[in-house]
Structure 1
Amino acid sequence: MSIMKALKIGDLTAKYPIIQGGMGVGISLHSLAGAVAKAGGIGIISTAQIGFKDPEFLKAPMEANLRAIGEELKKAREIAPKGIIGFNIMVATRNYAQYVKEAVKAGADIIISGAGLPVSLPELVEGAKTKIAPIVSTAKSAMVICKMWDRKYKRIPDLLVIEGPLAGGHLGFSREDLSRYGADTKDVPHTYHQDLYDEEIRGIMKVVKQFEEKYQKHIPVAIAGGIYTRADVEHAMELGADAVQVATRFVTTEECDAPESYKQAYINAKAEDIVITQSPVGMPGRAIVNPFLEKITAMKERGEKAKINHCYQCLEHCDPANIPYCITKALSNAAEGTLNEALLFCGSNAYRADKIETVEAVVQDLVGAV
């Protein structure tokens, strides 16, 4: 089966129905996003501490981040002048509204927003051409966001992203839900209860249909989390999706912004090395076991916390006095290649990586063109 159908999001048309997932800190910046857009997909830059390399970042992190939004988009556009490029902006980001407004000002084609429900997103992009896409994981959250946007803004999402329990990084599921779907074990995805989550996806599709009928307008849906092969893409399409969002598969590409040591950690990882950990902000996250994670786990068992020397003003609900470690420091260490002091976020399929590929090769493989 060849998946050659273009993805239409309003007046935007991507040659292929492949959206590259946003990965922060510093994993999906201009190089990866530009390459995916050039290959016919949609490239997404993560705004999570996007300015971490700026000389002023330590002193004024938010200002450095806002500057970097325009700079990264400009560089991505140089790679793919006619491509579709946008940003992933977490709702949990401190000063979320300013990040969204800066992305719009920079000329983002689309903003994808999760890690909370982006209830105010429509007003932040009002009057702009920038498309907006909430990330949901349940039919309940899809109904909440669609109802709220309908009632308050008289609009619907331009795209809806459904992120399942096999995704990487912070997850929109409780530990109990992950367990129910069989997505908390070390041999995921082999024990993953896909049929159970497929039912949830069908429930989300019913919510989407309800609002499509009300507005007489199609809402494209992208399925994310655990999409690694052409078969995964085909399954998503069979469920009624218009597109897929893929992140982990793009990490081990030549063009990914991650350092080579980070990419090699994926290639070296075995299935049992990928675990669910607790983020300092209270959310479950998926990562590769390494000396840092082992140290943090041991400290937690002893009731100890790491000393936080500096706050980078990253997340809205983070209390430096009561967290086990600084997530900005742990993730920026990963992006800088200091892996033994880093949190290595990944999707459930990271262990399947066995070589470095090009973005073009990955896209062509996913759409069935090779």
Structure 2
Amino acid sequence: MEINGKKLAHGIIQGGMGVGVSLSELAGNVAKQGCMGVISSVNIGFKEPDFLQNPFEANIRALKEHIRKAKEIAGGNGLIGVNIMVAVSHYEETVKAAISAGADAIISGAGLPLNLAELVKGSNTLYAPIVSSAKAAMLLCRTFAKKAQSIPDFIVIEGHKAGGHLGFSADDLKEDTCQENLDILKEVLEVIKPFEEQFKKKIKVFLGGGIFTGKDIAEAIKNGADGVQIGTRFIATEECDASTAFKEILVDAKEEDIKIIKSPVGMPARAVFTPMLQSLEEGKSFFAKRCNGCLKACPKGDKIPYCISRALIAAVEGNKEEGLFFCGENAFRINKITTVKDLIDELVDEYKLCMNAV
């Protein structure tokens, strides 16, 4: 597969997972297998010695270093992308830093990345918005075309079974009335057609949210997707940058342990129901000793029940009592920790079997 001249052996994007879950080790090894490895930029510098004093500088420094390391691990195979949430502070500066460090692609969600096309213009970096509806895809393509005379190189659709923050209303998630992945895919493919014709360019579409097996990949491809995005399954790999404790929590999780929660920034999200979430239900609060202003929309201080940055860092470090463990709906189906190579081989082999059976 080619995306605007950049090659992938397999149409698999590893979802960007933060804080610290998908850094250079995971992304580099995914790319090494011919897929797109993705580094999450959010609070990527949390291990830097000056993170609390100079979070912006620490994050930019760490981002550039992780891109360098990931490319080194990949050895010229696959692609290295960076997931940058629109909701983060210093969004534009982070995009520019990723481009300058040689990121192959910028993938952006958690809000509408209306200025992403302008930020990457003139660079060799691919760009892709994350959407959960055809309406969002149309708005973004229209905006990019008008402001930057450009359309996305690819689009990532994140369905309601994804992990972390979700682009659906809490009511729809609770009542199970969210639009299904394949329906969104069909509508997105329709709304982007006029833009593809106008610019004489194919926008690749990757389907994510609940993709777990090679059979799921085959179903997505049969319905018009160019590839898929998979996040949660890559957490349970030896190369994942998260702690072993984080991986074991997913392996041990039962279906009933995976819940929809309300993030401090007001968005619904999906996570494993661990002691921290239990404590919140009982009225306990978790605040950061010092706020680093990571999210623009966060009300901060005692206006929130917990600091999401602190909770996500605690999770990646394996703190089961205070960690927030984001995951997709199918996390309970994970039963072992494997390697990136074995996981990708399994997915690709099963996909080929399903496609050959048609």
TM norm structure 1: 0.92
1:311 matched to which residue of 2?
291
1:264 aligns with 2:258: no
SS in 2 for 1:218: coil
Q: 2:329 aligns with which of 348, 361, 367?
A: 348
Q: 1:10 aligns with which of 4, 7, 19?
A: 4
2:346 matched to which residue of 1?
365
SS in 1 for 2:191: helix
1:225 matched to which residue of 2?
209
Shift of 1:364: 1.3
Shift of 1:305: 4.3
SS in 2 for 1:206: helix
SS in 2 for 1:44: strand
- d(CA) in 1 for partners of 2:340 and 2:334? 14
1:113 matched to which residue of 2?
108
1:38 aligns with 2:32: yes
Q: 1:334 aligns with which of 307, 315, 318?
A: 315
SS in 1 for 2:47: coil
Confirm or deny: 8 A CA contact 1:20 1:247 kept in the other structure. yes
- d(CA) in 2 for partners of 1:324 and 1:179? 21
RMSD: 1.4
1:26 matched to which residue of 2?
20
2:258 matched to which residue of 1?
274
2:152 matched to which residue of 1?
157
**Code of the aligned partner of 2:62:** A
- d(CA) in 2 for partners of 1:278 and 1:349? 19
- d(CA) in 1 for partners of 2:57 and 2:236? 30
2:356 matched to which residue of 1?
none
- d(CA) in 1 for partners of 2:190 and 2:174? 25
Q: What is the CA deviation profile of residues 62-98 of structure 1, one whole-angstrom value per residue up to 9, with x for unaligned ones?
A: 1100000111011111211213101000000111001
SS in 2 for 1:93: coil
**Code of the aligned partner of 1:29:** L
Q: 1:178 aligns with which of 159, 163, 173?
A: 173
TM norm structure 2: 0.95
- d(CA) in 2 for partners of 1:9 and 1:177? 34
- d(CA) in 2 for partners of 1:66 and 1:113? 17
Confirm or deny: 8 A CA contact 2:118 2:147 kept in the other structure. no
- d(CA) in 2 for partners of 1:266 and 1:182? 26
1:137 aligns with 2:132: yes
Residues 202/179 of structure 1: CA separation in 2 closer, same or farther (3 Å cut): farther
Q: Identify unmatched segments of 5+ residues in structure 1.
A: 1-6, 184-192
Range that drifts further, 78-87 or 38-47: 78-87
Confirm or deny: 8 A CA contact 1:262 1:337 kept in the other structure. yes
Residues 343/123 of structure 1: CA separation in 2 closer, same or farther (3 Å cut): same
Shift of 1:182: 5.2
Q: Percent identity?
A: 49
Q: Identify unmatched segments of 5+ residues in structure 2.
A: 354-358
Confirm or deny: 8 A CA contact 2:236 2:250 kept in the other structure. yes
Query: 1:184-199 alignment to 2 at 5 Å?
Result: 196-199=180-183
- d(CA) in 2 for partners of 1:33 and 1:344? 19
Shift of 1:308: 4.3
Query: 1:90-101 alignment to 2 at 5 Å?
Result: 90-101=85-96
Q: What is the CA deviation profile of residues 76-131 of structure 1, one whole-angstrom value per residue up to 9, with x for unaligned ones?
A: 11211213101000000111001001001101000000000100111212211010
Query: 1:228-307 alignment to 2 at 5 Å?
Result: 228-299=212-283, 305-307=285-287
**Code of the aligned partner of 1:101:** K
- d(CA) in 2 for partners of 1:338 and 1:60? 24
- d(CA) in 1 for partners of 2:187 and 2:205? 13
SS in 2 for 1:37: helix
